[in-house]
Amino acid sequence: MISEDLQTLLLNYCEPESELLQEIDRETNLKVLMPRMLSGHYQGRVLSMLSKMIAPKRILEIGTFTGYATLCLAEGLTEDGIIYTLDINAELEDMARNHFKKSPLNAKINYIIGNATQTINDLDEVFDLVFIDADKKNNGTYYDLIFDRVRPGGLIIVDNVLWSGKVLETKQDKDTQNISNFNHKIAHDNRVEKLILPVRDGLFIIRKIA
């Protein structure tokens, strides 16, 4: 969404990646289809900063991929905090678990493979922060499933809400229309405060009022 030169400047003025995050980035780009699904350095620092600002005790992540964002979010957890990260892709499980094992935050990560619309219901928790970054057609479904499980003042963050700028198009394909419908849904939800950060492919930052 921004020029390569400006992206380089932004990276020069934010915290550096850890060696482990750099390793995850490299391995994902070498071995995994659609590596651009990885949050990456700048967005990872945004997620880390937001997490640290609210110091969550419980985080829910829907969509683990190779674990990059999971580790970024986990950086803000309280000492007794836990992040539950849900993913349906068992083919990436070994890679993600290997990444987590290399992190000092490993003990705080509960990685669950399965359909998130079902596994969410197995979690008896109230969340301080939720990050939704899975199949975009189900953004609204995930949002509705988790909303009552987020504490007042908690954050819900949804990725890819600008969809490479396609949400501006008059004629939209099905995927783009799904994202536009979700954005419209949030814009008219008076239970929350909201804004879209034009970070990478768009992060919807949603704060539950009550």
**pLDDT higher than 90, residue 3:** no
Average pLDDT, the chain: 96
The mean pLDDT of 7-14, rounded to a whole number, is 94
pLDDT in tens, 144-168: 999 999 999 999 999 999 999 999 9
Q: Who's near 76: CB < 8 A, 6+ residues apart?
A: 48, 50, 51, 52, 53, 54, 55, 56, 129
User: Which backbone phi and psi does 142 adopt, to 5 degrees?
Assistant: -60, -40
Crossing angle between the packed helical segments 19-31 and 93-101, to the nearest 10 degrees? 170
Whole-angstrom distance, CA of residue 185 vs CA of residue 158? 13
Give domain 4-208's CATH architecture.
3-Layer(aba) Sandwich (3.40)
pLDDT in tens, 51-61: 999 999 999 99
Averaged over 5-27, what is the pLDDT? 96
Banded pLDDT at 210 (limits 50, 70, 90): confident
Chain segment 72-105, per-residue pLDDT in tens: 999 999 999 999 999 999 999 999 999 999 999 9
Q: What is the mean pLDDT of residues 132-149?
A: 96
Please tell me the pTM assigned to this model: 0.96
Q: 123 and 100 in contact (C-beta within 8 Å)? A: no
Residue ranges per domain, the chain? 4-208
Residue 1 has pLDDT above 70, yes or no: no
Report d(CA 71, CA 105) in Å as an integer: 7
Q: For residue 131, name the pLDDT band (cuts at 50, 70, 90).
A: very high
